[in-house]
Amino acid sequence: MVLHNPHEDYFPCAHCTLGQCLTYFNGHRRFDRNSLSSAVPGNLNNLTSVQELLLSNNRLTGPLPNLAGMNALNYLDLSNNSFVATDFPSWIPTLQSLTTLILERTQVQGMVPVSLFSIFSLQSVVLKNNQLNGTLDIGSSHSNQLQLIDLQTNFIDDFKQSTGGYSVEVILVGNPVCQETGAAGQSYCTIPQSNTSSYLTPPNNCVPAVCNSNQTSSPNCKCSYPYTGTLAFRAPSFSGLGNSTYFEILASSMMISFKSYQLPVDSVSLSDPRKDSSDYLELNLAVFPSEGASFNRTGINSVGFVLSNQTYKPSNLFGPFYFIGDQYTYFAAEVQVPTTSKKSSNIGVIVGAAAGGFVLLSLLALVGVYAFRQKKRAEKATEQSNPFVNWDPNKSSGDIPQLKGARWFSIEELKKYTNNFLEANEIGSGGYGKVYRGTLPTGNLVAIKRAQQGSMQGGVEFKNEIELLSRVHHKNLVSLVGFCFEQGEQLLVYEFLPNGTLKESLSGKSGIRLDWARRLRVAIGAARGLAYLHELANPPIIHRDIKSTNILLDDHLNAKVADFGLSKLMGEGERGHVTTQVKGTMGYLDPEYYMTQQLTEKSDVYSFGILMLELLTARRPIERGRYIVREVRVLMNKDKDLYNLQGILDPAIGLGTSLKGLESFVELAMRCVEESGADRPTMGEVVKEIESIMVFAGLNPKAESATTSASYEDESKGYATHPYSNEDFLEYSGGFPPSRIEPQ
């Protein structure tokens, strides 16, 4: 199956097979209106994260593909292909996320099952020009969101209406049921108007202003000259245009984006949603100025940049988009300098001489400014290549951080401590580089993280981690022993933690069994470390990359927070939030931070909530296309034991034993992952609640954890054995990768 002439608007995959193109994409797939031929590959069913799939208007053959495994699918269009005749697929009613089903001219036959219309999210069903027959029954419990059922030109001979009537638009033109006597007056036997809507963003609790012929009343009822254009969405997840909620969500998200970039926008208005010939959703957009009656050129350029350069990201309801702006001719008037009358020719000469002198001085000033800027750029370039160029480790004044015990190692010293970075001393690796076990002259073990060439972490992040770790000292934070930055090498020297990462223990790699009590102690340790960063460090610090690979376990399984390469200081004037480039790990990333680019302590709280769910399930946040937050929400039932979560709890947690406090732990985790940061607790509050859960479970929240071997006691012999075999102990006792980058 080869794609001969793809539309570049749909995907950048020319002259490739459908299977290759499907592998390339994630989330949205438009392959309609191409020259795809032969049968649909069977592995299509493995793409469980796909939300929109459009394969219409091709030359596909064979049977209709079985897509039962595509649980996230909400928009499916297989129309106008050459599939063999088949009964209505029984797997379609199992797609519980489906909003739009389009199977026009696919030779599907038989009766349409009533179960199809009970899909909660279903909005539109288009099955025109097929061989469907029998009675159309949409049932009395169909989805409240259902708007359209189009079965034109089939063999439907009866339509069973619910006793309470129906609000769904049903089209049965061209079916035997519309050829019966008296059927001509039925609404379902007429062709409706075109697929458009008269929607217009309503006023915000005010009376629209009466404006002159060139101005428009905004949603805030102010007369002004808006910047207008057309928004086109390539793959919206809905098909009906009658639900105004979608457009209200879109307008609200646009205003959040404009405000986050501090643009002079008062409000936005959306109108006339419609579908074009490619089934794109188009809307008219009007953006109203907040200052005066019109935008200046800078304001127009800023708004246009956010829209045209994809800086604004709409929700998954709408998918990818483009914007075509109209010409704007109502720019705010420039400030005019008033002219004065000519007094005399002498005054003219004086003014001319003064102007000439001013121009000369201005030119000299510009030359000076240019030279100064060039010097600063050169210094900045040098600092970026070597962020320590002005850092004297022997001084601690001004902006120079005080190392408080951390020392500067030479590369020769670290080579000696690791036996020239011998492979046998390698104890971990990741996207950043490798980690080696080293022995100091004092006999103390250390973990030495060595960046590889082309590492994802640059000099600025490297210096950032050193500065932050030098500021903070807490028993639940990994301690920095020292660092090295010379001969093109970046190395960090940490305290050695023998039991590796939390992820290794949850996955079973480390050989340590984490029962319910130990997981509570891990949670309280990590929470205390984060609470210290947020509430006691001065200035406060936001970690930005809380995840199970960045929680390390010492020899008593006490948790310590590691890897501060992405952390951010909350400086003066930044209380509340920091507007910054989005960084973090997918699956743990706060969606509010992702949408607004405004970082707060609550972003760490969200990541910690994901970590709590990981402690419960031992699952990655995103696994086989399923998001752990959604999985828990779907299953959670407070009226059942363990909130009905037995099916996803990690068996190693101690299922079958008393799991006191688990329900409260789940509730706390779900509060931490609320969509709005304002609804999440602070880390200080999280610490107090976990302490209360531990007390309820009969644990002392102030006590240290037991040793690694405490729960591996051989009851028959009455003594403790180590959890590892000798061979395993040599391999994992130093499993410490502080900066492993794990794609989720």
List the catalytic residues.
Answer: 545
Distance (Å, whole) CA 524 – CA 672:
14
CB 676 within 8 A of CB 603: no
Closest by CA to 636, choosing from 611, 610, 612, 670, is: 670
Distance (Å, whole) CA 19 – CA 17:
5
CB atoms near residue 76 (< 10 Å): 22
| 471-503 per-residue burial string, b: 16 or more CB within 10 A, e: under 16 | bbebebbbbbbbbbbeeeebbbbbbbbbbbbbb
Please count the residues of the chain.
Answer: 744
Which residue reads 């459009």 in tokens?
54
Partners of 357 in the β-ladder: none
Q: At what angle do helices 662-672 and 601-617 cross, to 10 degrees?
A: 140
Which residue reads 């794990």 in tokens?
742
CB 602 within 8 A of CB 675: no
Separation of CA 670 from chain center: 17
Distance (Å, whole) CA 112 – CA 263:
51
Structure tokens at 19: 């299977």
CB atoms near residue 538 (< 10 Å): 9
Phi-psi region of 253 (alpha: psi -120 to 50; beta: other; left: phi over 0): alpha
Distance (Å, whole) CA 556 – CA 707:
4
Distance (Å, whole) CA 267 – CA 333:
21
Q: CA torsion 22→632→236→120, rounded to 10°?
A: 120
| 544-575 per-residue burial string, b: 16 or more CB within 10 A, e: under 16 | bbbbbbbbbbbeebbbbbbbbbbbbbbeeebe
Local structure of 536: helix, strand or coil: coil
**CA separation, residue 220 to residues 207, 265, 307, 544 (Å):** 9, 11, 22, 37
CB atoms near residue 151 (< 10 Å): 25
**CA separation, residue 743 to residues 121, 465, 507, 591, 679 (Å):** 31, 21, 16, 17, 28
Local structure of 315: helix, strand or coil: coil
CB 561 within 8 A of CB 550: yes
Partners of 494 in the β-ladder: 447, 480
DSSP-derived pairing of the beta strands 719-720 and 713-714: antiparallel
Q: Strands (DSSP E) along 441-502, which ranges?
A: 445-451, 480-486, 489-495
Listed as own residue / partner, the contacts of 408-416 with beta carbons closer than 8 Å and 24 or more positions apart are 408/482, 408/483, 408/484, 409/482, 409/483, 409/484, 409/491, 409/493, 410/484, 410/486, 411/484, 411/486, 411/487, 411/489, 411/491, 413/484, 414/438, 414/448, 414/484, 414/491, 414/493
Distance (Å, whole) CA 605 – CA 336:
52
Distance (Å, whole) CA 505 – CA 508:
5
Closest by CA to 549, choosing from 557, 560, 558, 540, is: 560
- Measured over the CA atoms of residue 408, residue 474, residue 557 and residue 659, the dihedral's sign is negative
